[in-house]
């Protein structure tokens, strides 16, 4: 995902209930090569964080266009398995209303409500997928008679529900592994709160370095984590025992940390 709090044009088959975030980005890249409808949807804020005991938060959808806009809001639990992100339809969080029609130059408030307010042992994480749906006449004019793929603007909004009390800081460990014909940088978070990772750079004691991401790389969720495939130009010489990573975590620049390197398949 680049930071999914930004908007991307994408194609999505209706009824899909599980999709990794990188898979959604791949679909977005494919959609960019296709004719797409003009997008008028704006969403704010781009991250939602509940406070202790807070039952609901508000999300504003704006229509900046000159025609009515139909928007759809879906809620997914967001988890990680050490390698990737995964989304599953959520039961503990709902959006109300889930479907809206916004007049031109107007806005609509959507409430994001916690259904289950029992204290959690760790931070809970969700994603809101907010789609701008093309009007039926536009789909007909495009010649799409399959009813399967619709082109739209999509926002993916992170939602965090902290555990009660003071959860402290994320606790990260880093790995660099070679498998499936490529190098992968992994971040594992044993802390009770998420880590937003940005400005990530790898370096060695002899002065070699590689910028993994100038902006946002992604998230390592509480009690889990994931890995990111390095680009093809990643220098294999960096796969050394003295490798370190420099990163900004939750807007704080942290001291360089050691990276465990493994070249096994």
In order along its 265 residues, the chain shows pLDDT tens digits of: 333 333 333 333 223 333 444 444 444 433 333 333 456 899 999 999 998 889 999 999 999 999 999 999 999 999 999 999 999 999 999 999 999 999 999 999 999 999 987 777 789 999 999 999 987 665 555 555 445 545 468 999 999 999 887 678 899 999 999 998 999 999 999 999 999 999 999 999 888 999 999 999 999 999 999 999 999 999 988 887 789 999 999 999 999 999 999 865 4
- Tell me the pTM: 0.79
* Distance between start and end Cα atoms, the chain: 25
Find where tokens 């990737």 sit. 84
For the chain, the farthest-separated pair of C-alpha atoms sits apart, in whole angstroms, at 61
d(CA 84, CA 218): 11
Judge if 7-161 and 172-262 fold alike in CATH terms.
Answer: yes
CATH tag, 172-262: 2.60.40
- The H-assigned helical ranges of the chain are 21-32, 136-141
- What is residue 256's three-state secondary structure? coil
**DSSP H helix total and E strand total for the chain:** 2, 19
Burial class for 31, CB neighbours closer than 10 Å (0-12, 13-18, 19+): buried
Say how many C-beta atoms besides its own lie within 10 A of residue 261's C-beta: 17
Sheet holding 93-96, edge to edge: 41-44, 56-63, 106-114, 93-96
The per-residue DSSP string of 161-227 comes to EPPSS------EEEEEEEETTEEEEEEEE-SSS-EEEEEEEEE-TTS-EEEEEEEEEEEE-TTEEEE
CATH code reported for the domain at 7-161: 2.60.40.10
| Extents of the domains making up the chain | 7-161, 172-262
Structure tokens at 30: 């494919």
């Amino acid at each position: 995902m680049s930071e999914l709090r930004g908007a991307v044009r994408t194609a999505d088959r209706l009824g899909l209930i599980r999709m990794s975030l990188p898979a959604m980005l791949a679909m977005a890249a494919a959609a960019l090569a296709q004719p797409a409808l003009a997008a008028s949807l704006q969403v704010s804020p781009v991250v939602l964080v509940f406070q202790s005991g807070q039952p609901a938060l508000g999300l504003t959808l704006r229509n900046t266009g000159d025609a009515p806009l139909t928007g759809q809001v879906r809620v997914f639990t967001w988890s990680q398995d050490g390698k990737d992100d995964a989304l599953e339809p959520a039961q503990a969080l709902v959006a109300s209303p889930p479907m809206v029609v916004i007049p031109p130059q107007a806005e609509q408030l959507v409430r994001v409500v916690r259904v289950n307010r029992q204290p959690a042992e760790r931070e809970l994480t969700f994603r809101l997928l907010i789609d701008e749906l093309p009007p039926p006449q536009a789909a007909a004019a495009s010649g799409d008679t399959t009813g399967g793929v619709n082109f739209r603007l999509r926002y993916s909004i992170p939602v965090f529900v902290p555990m009660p009390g003071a959860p402290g800081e994320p606790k990260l460990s880093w790995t660099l592994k070679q498998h499936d014909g490529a190098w992968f940088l992994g971040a594992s978070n044993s802390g009770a709160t998420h880590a937003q990772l940005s400005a990530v750079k790898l370096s060695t004691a002899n002065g070699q370095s590689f910028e993994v991401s100038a902006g946002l790389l992604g998230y390592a969720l509480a009690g889990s984590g994931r890995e990111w495939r390095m680009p093809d130009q990643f220098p294999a010489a960096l796969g050394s025992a003295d490798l370190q990573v420099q990163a900004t975590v939750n807007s704080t620049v942290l001291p360089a940390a050691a990276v465990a390197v493994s070249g096994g398949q």
